[in-house]
Chains A and B, each alone.
Chain A
Amino acid sequence: MTDLISRLARTPQGAAGLALVGLVLLVVVFGPLLAPYDPEAMAPLLRYKGPSLVHLLGTDQYGRDILSRLLVGARATVVMAVLATLLGTLVGALLGTASAFLGGRADEAIMRTVDAVMSIPSLLFALLIVNLLGKSGLNALLAIGIAFAPGMARVARSVALAVRKQDYVNAAIARGEGGFHIVVREMLPNVVAPIIVETTIRVAFAVMLFATLSFLGLGAQPPAPEWGLMVAEARKYLNLSPWMLIWPSIAIAIVAIGFNLLGDGLRDALNPRT
């Protein structure tokens, strides 16, 4: 593990990704403690303020401190994105590995279904699911998880096909192991490296997808300090204070870029040939 991190820090994109994601994690863990004001405390006299020493990032249309809202909202935004990606990864990896293990007609059936789901753009698919299940943060999480699963299944299957041909899988079949054991214990651990890379890159997508869903009013509901929602609300007051829109957008960009760089770095670090 420490070896992996030192390998990661050796590449420029890995080091930058590690620093940005580390910063984001610090905010997620300690954000509410660091916040100077209550994120939901309104101040009618201090509305639409630009950055100043009192309010470092300014205030919004109700006079709430934007910095405090960003720090507190990090949990909702980043944790939800990570959870949704993990859900999609788990479902996709199991599906892809099982499909590669079964082979033949079962493989065809699973992968063609996955192709059909993949042909729907993930945002559209997430919108569809949220509309079916109702508007809420949890449903948005489910929607994004399900939308991500087909892509992960493809990645997992392509690696698992090579693993399937290895003799340790043959040895397990020959000694009479069940299919579940072979998929979960023999194959999955050997498929994991490329999946980790794919997962980190997808966290960035999930953050943006969540922001988009909240922006469209289908994810988190006001007055939650979720970043996408903050951007959506600030849109109406753009002419009064552009800062309200700029700060949460920058925060979303930092998370997206951080996870993307980390994924790039991990791809190199986990590949022993480089």
Chain B
Amino acid sequence: MEQPALTISGYSLDYLTPRGVHHALVDIDLAIARGEVLGLVGESGSGKTSLAWSIMRYLPGNARENGGRILLGRDDLRAMAPAAIEEIRGRRIGMVFQDPSTSLNPTLSLGIQLAEVLERHRGLTRRQAWREGEQMLARVGLKDPPGMMRRYPHEASGGEKQRVVIAQAFACQPECILFDEPTTALDVITARQILELFAELQAETGVASLYISHDLALVSRVADRVAVLHHGNMVEQGQVAGVFGAPREAYTRRLVAAVPRPDRRLVAELGPAEAAAAPLVAARGVSVEYGRPSAIARLFGRDRAPVVGNRAVSLDVRPGEIVGVVGESGSGKSTLARALTGLNPFSGEIVFDGRPVRGIADMDGAYRRDVQIIFQHPDSSLNPRQRIGEILARPLRLHDRLPGAAEAARIGELLEQVRLPATYAGRYPHQLSGGEKQRVAIARAFATAPRLVICDEITSALDVSVQAAVIELLLDLRRRHGTAYLFITHDLNLVRQIAHRIAVMYRGDLVEVLDAQAFSAGPTHPYTRSLVAAVPVPVG
């Protein structure tokens, strides 16, 4: 049998932390042949990125390796001197990072960063490297390569930057390239194009790729074989269709089951009476503009076109209804949420339960009580210096003013309602896991028995299995309290599972609002169609 491009056998890695030894990787075995793509999936903290860095031989000071071998071709990387490793990095192993905006140096032009790799590893002169670089940029599908070489990272879009990073990784025709979530920071449509480029380059160069991702659907699209990592252990490894279609291990089965599938609806459809009910909240021509002209600009009468967040958005939510809002980043989804909760000044009108609200000043206690928002990152939405009990007590004190003992009992109830033990009231947010923190944020939103809860990408920072549990909890709370949700997300598969109606936004405009059935039947607007086409089909 031919020697695989990359072989890892019996590799273990520990981190020494002040709280003891953390086993990051335990007895890992894997091999990637030339021209093969191995998908590495696992939840956050499973050791995916640690594995990438140990292949790169760039580990933090508190890492301890406990045996095992990492072979690149026939060379043992662990036995190599640092100088030899430097020769290998970029030359024989390339790496593509998650966020192209942080993996490129903002003070150097794209051309210099690309040419540097070629000069360093292939011994070209600056002039040769520059020419070669232009060819590489043309190869990765960038228009006007000579112009792109002279641009700085901030002058290129996210997708263009990621193409440059990919060109860098492929520049020296390495034997192996590590992709660490290369499309996670990009929009769906851009991500789709990057994946197509990746497939082309992969077929052309025959490089061995390790493709790290938390997105099972994505991996099933790009990878030949897949390895599942859980708490540093290799759970299962095999052909994509086999592992995802008929998982052998319980963990893989749970992981696959948690992936949202648009054909499996999780909510009951609205009855005719509910569907015809008067809207609970109706946005009428809500527009948001960002930025104000500076005093000097006003003085000289210079006009500056403001940045548009929302352009005359009109949207209804009926009592108990789940309305999904989808769109790329920057499409104005969150801006709409911020306008509805009074975090942004807006023009236009919001009609809530028959009462008109024309500005932030009109949002009285009753409105604040009935409309709640849950944010994307629980780390940022829970004050790190307050205990959970204190965090949950604030909305109660603001709206209900219960006596001390009743308040403590109510906090316990709120925690149990989101399936957390009542004893968590005495803890600080950093003592909880990401999913538990998001549950606390949900409990806080439900403390005032609201009628509309705006969920702003609340599951996108969570692992897929945690996401499934949080969604299940939200639907359970809706059944109990009859709450309406405005569910903002970029995950089309998820929103098709739970939303009664789906609103599509693009660059500040509301493109169209469709019933879930109509959405499945085939959207009419060309933008919605391209969005649906770009989403990977779920596995299994």
A176 and B398 contact, Cβ closer than 8 Å, known pairs A186-B383, A189-B385, A190-B385: yes
A residues near B386, Cβ cutoff 8 Å: 185, 189
B395 near A175: Cβ-Cβ < 8 Å: yes
A40 to B533, CA, bound (A): 91
A168 near B383: Cβ-Cβ < 8 Å: yes
B343 near A173: Cβ-Cβ < 8 Å: yes
B residues near A189, Cβ cutoff 8 Å: 383, 385-386
B383 near A175: Cβ-Cβ < 8 Å: no
A176 to B365, CA, bound (A): 7
B394 near A168: Cβ-Cβ < 8 Å: no
A174 and B385 contact, Cβ closer than 8 Å, known pairs A166-B380, A167-B380: no
B residues near A168, Cβ cutoff 8 Å: 380-383
The residues in A between 136 and 194 inclusive whose CB is less than 8 angstroms from any CB of B are 166-168, 170-177, 185-186, 189-190
A171 near B377: Cβ-Cβ < 8 Å: no
A residues near B335, Cβ cutoff 8 Å: none
A190 and B342 contact, Cβ closer than 8 Å, known pairs A170-B375, A172-B394, A175-B398: no
B368 near A171: Cβ-Cβ < 8 Å: no
The residues in B between 433 and 489 inclusive whose CB is less than 8 angstroms from any CB of A are 444, 448
A166 to B365, CA, bound (A): 23
Tell me whether B183 is interfacial, beta carbon within 8 Å.
Answer: no
Cβ-defined partner of B368 (8 Å) among A166, A176, A185, A190: A176
Cβ-defined partner of B394 (8 Å) among A167, A170, A177: A177
A186 to B391, CA, bound (A): 10
A171 and B342 contact, Cβ closer than 8 Å, known pairs A176-B365, A176-B398, A177-B398: no
Chain A's closest residue to B447 (CB) is A175
A190 to B342, CA, bound (A): 24
A190 to B428, CA, bound (A): 14
B residues near A175, Cβ cutoff 8 Å: 368, 372, 394-395, 398, 448
A185 to B386, CA, bound (A): 9
A186 to B384, CA, bound (A): 9
B residues near A185, Cβ cutoff 8 Å: 386
CB A59 to nearest CB in B, in angstroms, measures 53
The residues in A between 175 and 229 inclusive whose CB is less than 8 angstroms from any CB of B are 175-177, 185-186, 189-190
CB A191 to nearest CB in B, in angstroms, measures 10
Chain A's closest residue to B378 (CB) is A167
A23 to B441, CA, bound (A): 47
| Binary flags per residue of B392-405, CB closer than 8 Å to A gives 1, else 0 | 00110010000000
Cβ-defined partner of B444 (8 Å) among A170, A171, A173, A190: A171
A residues near B448, Cβ cutoff 8 Å: 175
A171 and B384 contact, Cβ closer than 8 Å, known pairs A176-B365, A176-B368: no
Cβ-defined partner of A174 (8 Å) among B343, B377, B383, B384: B343
B residues near A167, Cβ cutoff 8 Å: 375-377, 380-381
B384 near A190: Cβ-Cβ < 8 Å: yes
A173 to B375, CA, bound (A): 13
Between A170, A171, A173, A189, the greatest number of chain B beta carbons within 10 A of the residue's beta carbon is seen for A171
Chain A's closest residue to B360 (CB) is A173
Tell me whether B373 is interfacial, beta carbon within 8 Å.
Answer: yes
Tell me whether B341 is interfacial, beta carbon within 8 Å.
Answer: yes
CB A28 to nearest CB in B, in angstroms, measures 30
A190 near B383: Cβ-Cβ < 8 Å: yes
A170 to B337, CA, bound (A): 12
A127 to B135, CA, bound (A): 70
A residues near B380, Cβ cutoff 8 Å: 166-168
A172 to B384, CA, bound (A): 14
Chain B's closest residue to A7 (CB) is B18
A residues near B343, Cβ cutoff 8 Å: 170, 173-174
B381 near A174: Cβ-Cβ < 8 Å: no
A7 to B13, CA, bound (A): 27
A171 near B365: Cβ-Cβ < 8 Å: no
A174 to B368, CA, bound (A): 7
Cβ-defined partner of A171 (8 Å) among B369, B373, B385: B373
B residues near A177, Cβ cutoff 8 Å: 394, 398
A172 to B380, CA, bound (A): 12
Chain B's closest residue to A176 (CB) is B368
CB B448 to nearest CB in A, in angstroms, measures 8
Query: What are 20 of the A-B contact pairs (CB < 8 Å)?
Result: A166-B380, A166-B381, A168-B381, A170-B343, A170-B373, A171-B381, A172-B394, A174-B342, A174-B368, A174-B372, A174-B373, A175-B368, A175-B394, A175-B448, A176-B363, A177-B394, A177-B398, A189-B386, A190-B383, A190-B384
The 7 closest A-B pairs by CB, nearest first: A167-B381, A189-B385, A176-B368, A167-B375, A174-B341, A168-B383, A167-B380
A166-B381, A177-B394 known, 15 other contacts, Cβ within 8 Å: A167-B375, A167-B376, A168-B380, A168-B382, A168-B383, A170-B338, A171-B381, A172-B394, A174-B341, A174-B343, A176-B363, A176-B365, A185-B386, A189-B383, A189-B385
Give A contacts to B, CB under 8 Å: 166-168, 170-177, 185-186, 189-190
Give B contacts to A, CB under 8 Å: 338, 341-343, 363, 365, 368-369, 372-373, 375-377, 380-386, 394-395, 398, 444, 448
